[in-house]
């Protein structure tokens, strides 16, 4: 999984506004609206304790401050602990945190201490980006393409199958593809199939995974992936709407998913 850089997290609020506007135009809902529709819940000023973690590649500049900005933007209370790691965990619980957020290089998690719900970023990110793609108002059918069946892609594909979409998917890793075929009954898609899609959910760590032959004019591409899977020239030529940003949408999905009281 590509680790974020401090630069990725610069002007996050602008990236949020841009994607909010695109989401509203192509789905009729902004990110807050999509979270409420997806999880059937609203923040009730739960308090989020955000803990810097020094393990592995260590603290990433702008990471915990970005989490605080996101939590407060969606109506949660929040604080970043003074100390990192275990000391930080003790501090967060002692300061009355309802939800703990912390990430090492492998797992980024949110844990609600009140209802014991726990979620990982890769599942929450996969589900919401797939959900955004599936809400395209101009979609020509319920056929949707998933590119990448790793942790994020698989979670999104599973969500789309559960929502009743006709999920086509591709991944260069044959095991990942076979797993999704066996467990989710998705339809394998390879680029020389003549089929074109109006909804695409891309979840790979690679650039330029989307080619002209895959997409319809004015389609919607929804992707958390850094670098971007949509080549800019293809995006322009086919007037593609692109929902893509590095952290906000996935974190919002994490927070709403752990305050669900179902």
Binding site for ligand 2YC (CB under 6 A): 1, 3-4, 52-53, 59-60, 63-64, 103-105, 108, 121, 247
Taking the complex as a whole, the smallest distance from the CB of residue 148 to Mg ion amounts, in Å, to 7
Q: Nearest distance from residue 35's CB to ligand 2YC, in Å?
A: 17
One of 204, 222, 253, 257 touching Mg ion (CB under 5 A): 204
The span from the CA of 124 to the CA of 131, in Å, is: 11
Asked if 125 is part of the footprint of Mg ion (rule: CB under 5 A), the reply reads no
Whole-number Å distance between alpha carbons of 65 and 258: 20
With respect to Mg ion, which residue has the nearer C-beta, 126 or 229?
A: 229
* The entry of ligand 2YC, Mg ion, none that residue 15 binds, CB within 5 to 8 Å by partner kind: none
Q: What is the dihedral of CA 51, 52, 56, 61, to 10 degrees?
A: 150
Rank residues 64 and 204 by Cβ distance to Mg ion and give the closer one: 204
Looking at 42-50, 79-87, 101-109, 203-211, which segment touches Mg ion (CB under 5 A)?
203-211
Q: Exactly one of 225, 238, 249, 253 binds Mg ion (CB under 5 A); which one?
A: 225
Bridge partner residues of 100 (DSSP): 49, 111
* Residue 96 CA, distance from chain mean position: 28
User: How open is the CA angle 251-100-20, to the nearest 5 degrees?
Assistant: 15
Q: CB-based burial of residue 32 (10 Å sphere; 0-12 exposed, 13-18 middle, 19+ buried)?
A: middle
Smallest gap from Cβ 256 to ligand 2YC, in A, equals 17
Secondary structure element (H or E) that encloses residue 215, with its range: strand 215-222
The Cα 214–Cα 202 span in angstroms is: 12
Q: By rule CB under 5 A, what string of x and - marks binding of each residue 228-257 to Mg ion?
A: -x----------------------------
For residues 101 and 149, which CB has a smaller minimum distance to Mg ion in the complex?
149
Which residues are 199's β-sheet partners?
220
- In the 8-state DSSP scheme, what is residue 164? T
- How many chain residues touch Mg ion (CB under 5 A)? 3
- Interface residues with Mg ion (CB under 5 A) are 204, 225, 229
């Amino acid at each position: 999984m590509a680790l974020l850089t401090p630069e990725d997290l610069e002007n996050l609020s602008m990236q949020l506004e841009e994607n909010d506007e695109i989401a509203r135009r192509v789905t009729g809902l902004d990110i807050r609206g999509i979270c409420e529709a997806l999880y059937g819940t609203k923040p009730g000023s739960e308090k989020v304790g955000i803990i810097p973690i020094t393990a592995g590649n260590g603290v990433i500049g702008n990471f915990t401050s970005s989490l605080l900005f996101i939590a407060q933007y969606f109506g949660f209370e929040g604080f970043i602990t003074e100390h990192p790691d275990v000391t930080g965990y003790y501090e967060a619980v002692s300061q009355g945190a309802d939800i703990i957020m912390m990430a090492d290089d492998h797992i980024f998690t949110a844990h609600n201490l009140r209802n014991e719900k726990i979620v990982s970023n890769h599942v929450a990110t996969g589900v919401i980006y797939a959900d955004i793609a599936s809400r395209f108002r101009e979609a020509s059918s319920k056929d949707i393409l998933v590119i990448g069946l790793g942790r994020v892609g698989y979670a999104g594909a599973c969500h789309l199958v559960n929502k009743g979409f006709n999920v086509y998917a591709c991944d260069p890793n044959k095991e990942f593809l076979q797993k999704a075929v066996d467990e989710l009954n998705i339809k394998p898609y390879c680029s020389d199939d003549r089929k074109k899609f109006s909804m695409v959910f891309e979840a790979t760590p690679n650039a330029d995974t989307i080619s002209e032959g895959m997409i319809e004019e004015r389609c919607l591409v929804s992707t958390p992936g850094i670098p971007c899977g949509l080549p800019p020239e293809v995006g322009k030529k086919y007037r593609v709407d692109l929902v893509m940003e590095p952290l906000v949408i996935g974190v919002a999905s994490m927070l709403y998913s752990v305050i669900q009281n179902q």
